[in-house]
Structure formats: structure tokens, C-alpha cells
Chain A
Amino acid sequence: MDLKELIKPENLVYKKTELLNDDSMHYCPGCSHGVVHKILAELIAEMGIQEKTVGVAPVGCAVFAYKYIDIDWQEAAHGRAPAVATGLIRLMPDNFIFTYQGDGDLASIGAAEILHACNRGENILVIFINNGTYGMTGGQMAPTTLDGMVTSTTPNGRNIDLNGYPLKMTELIAQLPGTSYVTRQTVHTPGAVRKCKRSLKKAIEYVLDKKGTSFVEVVSTCNSGWKMTPVAANNWMEENMVPYYPLGDLKDSEKGEIVSEN
């Protein structure tokens, strides 16, 4: 068959999300950030909420998220995205506001802002990319870095005695009455991506229904920072990160209870 005959709308099985523009992403090949951007952009398009959405970008590798998804964005100082989002949602209560933050941004320098935004139950979505390191600055230790994990500031592996314990931020967040839906997902296999997208959709719906803060952690890879190939990073994540950061819903207010699996 001629190629021309094949390229027809009715034969289309996959196309780039409209809301992802043509700027080439700066993310390293294999990085989870790009996948999360894609499903987020798809959802905003599918749910028809582009016009009411404002994203708040973090300081971290996703600092340039605003370049890639065709919605209004605001760039926050390191860790302050939840406060910035609070300002936005309080003045535009019918808009859809989300923050997109890394583990350094959310769990380290911005620990106060995220706790208080969630505790106030700000009607926002928080996407939390937990890759266990500071990708942007060259792979230093993050609060979520696992025990024994080598980073550029823990050259012999994280030492609990010196650096404390890997912080389970999502478990903390789930305790706060202001949050409505709290979940932990991954995007390292096609199945996981589909599951994560369903969770993200639910999280957005809860925010649109004004149920309080939705919080979606995505346990992620940083193959550059971890100094691994993308495939090795996926395997390492599954074997090491997921056991410590177990997947699934931690809280669903629709069900009126905390359904923590651990």
C-alpha cells in the first residue's frame, strides 16, 4: 500500500497532545518529568479546562515546564509554589490552579509552604515529582534520598545518623484534614502511566468540585543524577524506591477515610 493512502485521519492511532507545544524539552532522555507533562497536558485538553487553568512551576528541573504546556503559568521562587498558588486561588476561586514541584522544592526548602497550604485545604492540585535527588543542581541529596543512596553530597551514601531519615511527605500530607485525595503513583511502564493518568484525573475533578487539596506524588527517576541508563534507573526505582514509597491511594475523602496501605 502507498504511504499516502495510510496517512489519513481515520488511521490515526496516536498524536501529540495539542497542549504540548513544539519546543524541544530540555529533560534528559528517560526522565519521568516529560511523561508527567504529557499526561497532564492530555488531561487539561480532554477535560476542556485550558482556559481556567494556571500552573505554578517550581525551581528544579521542571522550572521550564512553562515552556512546554500551552496554558498560563507562573514561576515561583524555590519551594514557594504552594503559597503562590494560594494567592492565585484565593483571588480566582473558580479557576483551576496546580503546582508542579520536585522533592527538593516541596519537601526541603518548601516544607513549610506545602504543609500550610494543605492544612488550609487550599483548593489546588499539587503534583509532587519524587526522584530522590536534586536533579537540576547536579544530583545532591534530597530529603527523600534513600538510606545509603549515593549523591554528590553523600558520596558514601546517605547516612541516617548525619542526614536523618528519607522523608515520607505524602504520608504526612495525608494526615491533614484539608486534603481530599492523596495518592502515590509512578510512570515507568505504560500500565503505570495509564494508572497515574486516572489518578491525576480524579485529583483534578476533586479540585474542580472544591473538595480541598489534591496531592499526587509520582515516584520518579533521575537517570542523570543517579548516573544510570534510563532502563537501569527504572529498575532501580522499582527495586528500591517503591518499597520505601509504596504506591496507591493514601486518602480518598469520597470514601471518607484514610486508606493508607502501609
Chain B
Amino acid sequence: MTEEMIIAGFGGQGVLSMGKILAYSGIMEDKEVTWFPSYGPEMRGGTANVTVIISDNRISSPILHEFDTAIILNQQSLNKFEKMVKPGGVLLYDPNGISKPPTRTDINIYKVEGTKTAVEMGNPRVFNMIVFGSYLKVRPILSLDNVEKGLQKSLPERYHRLIPLNLEAIKKGEEIVESIQTV
């Protein structure tokens, strides 16, 4: 198994930390992982993205130009990364702030109302975990047990009390993800 993915959105949406939790969960599953972020001044309030690779084998290139999965959280990122999804791959997006939805017909497209649901749950900060849950539903490559361990590892001790809330958000994300197109 090798999963090559990109998570892209605005800085502050929890893009990098979602990638980190994914990667840590992968380690808990005894997989090889890499996490490669965009870095530099563009991070100041601008776009942020991270490439995450989870594999049974030694990982070659940490930098990719086509992906099995793209998790897209703003329009700029959709414009940039929709074309880089492998045919038959997965595109998962949050429609909030997306005015021109994806148009490809050769990929699987899913939608998650993450922003809206996070507000309904009374905690906008769990937004990224809702999206993460939707991803896990669509691509069940990691067990929830290992995701919980991944959360424990990637969150500093003082935030561990928030793990149940995060798990709840993940479950919520699993429930609300909608399939738009399957190929």
C-alpha cells in the first residue's frame, strides 16, 4: 500500500497539523511516512499545503506532482491541485469558499461541509478533524485506534484532554461526507 496525498488550504485551517496527525497515525500502523510542507513567507496568512506519503515500503521522492488523494480547502488550492489527482484518484473538498467546484470526470469526488459542521459543533478548531474523518471514511487506510494513538503522539501533553473532542469530530466527518461522483 502507498498513499500519496496533498492537503491544501489557507494557513490557520490546520492543514499542516492534519498532515502531521495522519503521518503519526501511519507510524502507529508501522508504515513509512513523509510529511513535506510548503514553507516560507507565503505561509503568513497565505496558502499552506503539505504532501503526506504513507507506505509499506521505503519512500522515494517526498515531493510529488500527482496524487492519489487531494484534500482541498480553498479555491486557490483547487485550481492548483485538481489537475494533479491521478485518474481514478480521490478529491475531497469543503465547499465553503469554493465558487468553482471541481470539474474532472475521471476522478472520485467527495464533499464535506466541514466549516459549517465545525460551527454547529460549537468549535471551529475541530474543522480539520472533521475533514480528516471524511478522508478516513473514503480511504480507510488507518484504523481509528491508531489514529487515536497518532493524536496522542502529535498533540502536546497539555492538549490531551481535547482528544475525545477530536475523535468525536472525526466520527462526525465520517458520517457527513457526501459522494459527488464515483468512477
Contacts and interface: CB of A to CB of B under 8 A. Distances in A.
- Asked if A and B form a direct contact in the complex, defined as CB atoms under 8 angstroms apart, the reply is yes
Interface of A: 26, 28, 136, 224
Interface of B: 41, 44-45
Contacts of A224: 44
Contacts, number: 6
B45 A26 contact: no
User: DSSP majority for the A interface?
Assistant: loop
B48 to A, nearest CB: 14
A28 B44 CA distance: 8
A150 B44 CA distance: 20
A224 B41 CA distance: 12
Contacts of B45: 28
A26 to B, nearest CB: 7
B44 to A, nearest CB: 6
A26 B44 CA distance: 9
A228 to B, nearest CB: 15
Nearest to A61: B41
Contacts of A26: 41, 44
B158 to A, nearest CB: 15
Contacts of A28: 44-45
Nearest to A29: B45
Contacts of B41: 26, 136
Nearest to A26: B41
A195 B41 CA distance: 32
A136 B45 CA distance: 14
B63 to A, nearest CB: 22
6 contacts: A26-B41, A26-B44, A28-B44, A28-B45, A136-B41, A224-B44
A224 B45 CA distance: 10
A26 B45 CA distance: 10
A156 to B, nearest CB: 16
